[in-house]
Structure 1
Amino acid sequence: MATNFSFSALLRHLDAGTSPNRSPSSPTEEHMRKVMEAYVANIGKADPEFAAKYMAEGLTLADPVGSDPLAGSNTQESVSEVLSRLIDVPFTPQRAELISPIRFSLENQAAMAFKFWAEIDGRNISIDIIDVMTFDASGKICDIRAYWGIENVTLLD
């Protein structure tokens, strides 16, 4: 759902110390920030409850954008499909770290830039990634678009 936007209205809200009204079906920026921070913190820890708590049924994922997007009938299928497609060699996620503040749309999307470290087939790498996530009305992630390419991958050893 599109939201009407104007810079004059934005300035009025800034002067008044208020924020523009969001659609009632959109999660708050605070909620989206919490979920995205939890997503980054979960990398390398693999909390078994993370997917059930924060990912919607039927999650779609393009990681990286330009590869075939995946859609599962439920969250666990989506995660399993991603892992089977992406991880065709020994793969150990190590950690991730936000590298800039999370950015928000006027509705139900947010983007974050982060660095991801992993060991892949005995080699240490880092990847600079921008994830754009869409949230459903219940505040769960329903779509992830991971923007990264070959030039964003660094071999560390």
Structure 2
Amino acid sequence: MSYPDGEYRTLSVPVFKQENGYYCGPATVKQVRHFIKGSSHSQSYYAGELKTSTSGTDMTVLSNYLKNNVKSNYIYASIGSYDSWMSKVNYGMRNSMPAVLDINTKNVSAFPYESIGHFVNTSGYDTKNGPGVKVRITDPNGPGLGNRWYNARDVYNANNNHFRKAMIY
């Protein structure tokens, strides 16, 4: 994927720290909904809606919730190749729809924690201010909490490391 002049784009997605070790799904939905709709419910509310348990949240349920309650354009899809993934991330940025990723950071040293399953959302990309392409994620988890920039390949690899190899965009 080439960007002749480079592009820099961010979305002002608010950060909501997940309330416990398995509320990354509800916290991410809260972040996305608050950004798109301007308000949101509690993480406990979303946990109920998403049927979150101590084992976490099913990504397909999360996808259906976003599509039916936040923005009907949301799609659950395989991430595909790096270029396909970047196209989906860019689509979300251009349409003010943060993509939701399920990541496995276990073998990706760029992340300040190890998790075999964690939801985050995208909130920016930068092809202008190299070196390399960067993606910003809004992370509801403690050590990575906030809007943080990563090398796009590291984020892709973390998403690709997850058994689902899927995203919502």
Shared fold per TM-score greater than 0.5? no
**Which band: TM-score by shorter chain?**
under 0.3
State the TM-score, normalizing by the size of structure 1.
0.27
Q: Which has the higher contact order (CA 8 A, sep 6+)?
A: 2
In terms of fraction of residues, the more helix-rich structure is: 2
State the TM-score, normalizing by the size of structure 2.
0.26
